[in-house]
Amino acid sequence: MSSYLIFAYGGVGLCGIGVFGFILHSHLLRRLIAFNLLGSGTFLILVGLSQSGRGQPDYIPQALVLTGIVVAVAATALALVLIRRWAALTKHATLPEDQGPS
């Protein structure tokens, strides 16, 4: 098994953990972290899989992932703005349907 393929499987694991955490948690910051894990896993699969087919560095997926990382940080920053605004308005860091009968 080539080292590229190992990391593609690692990315599969990250995606699984990300989805599990995203559904399980109700705190929005933890959900954001889970969502970022899902994204990182996707990047690993994209690069690892395409390079394991060729057995050499493949520059096109690498350039796409580079673009993806920058867009991901913009999305994270925007999500944090929304979460902080929501928390300042409601004094909760969870969505109303997750807060339960309290």
Partner 1 sequence: MNELIDLTLICILLGLATLSLFTQSLFRSVMFFILLGLILSLVWIRLDAPDIALAEAAIGAGITGILLLDALAHLRATSNTPPQLLQLKQPRFWLALLSGTGVILALGLAVSEPLSPVVALDLKVSENLAESGVTHPITAILLNFRSYDTLLEVAVLVLAALVALTLRQSDEHPVANEFLPNQLLHACLKLFFPMIFLVSMYLLWAGSTQPGGAFQAGAVLASAFVLFYLVGLKTQLAQNEHYLKRGWIFGLAIFVLVGAVPLLQGQPFLTYPDAHAGVLILLIELGLTLSIGWILFSLFLLSQSASTFQKKDTP
13 binds partner 1 (CB under 8 A): yes
58 vs 101 by CB, closer to partner 1: 58
Question: According to CB under 8 A, which one of 88, 96, 97, 101 is a site residue for partner 1?
Answer: 88
Judging by beta carbons within 10 Å of its beta carbon (0-12, 13-18, 19+), is residue 41 exposed, middle or buried? buried
Q: Of residues 23-52, which lie at the interface with partner 1 (CB under 8 A)?
A: 23-27, 29-30, 32-34, 36-37, 40, 43-45, 47-52
- The rounded distance, in Å, linking the Cα atoms of 74 and 72 is 5
The answer to whether the CB of 47 falls within 8 A of the CB of 54 is: no
CB of 54 to partner 1, least distance (A): 7
The answer to whether the CB of 32 falls within 8 A of the CB of 79 is: yes
Q: Of residues 51-80, which lie at the interface with partner 1 (CB under 8 A)?
A: 51-54, 56-60, 62-67, 69-78, 80
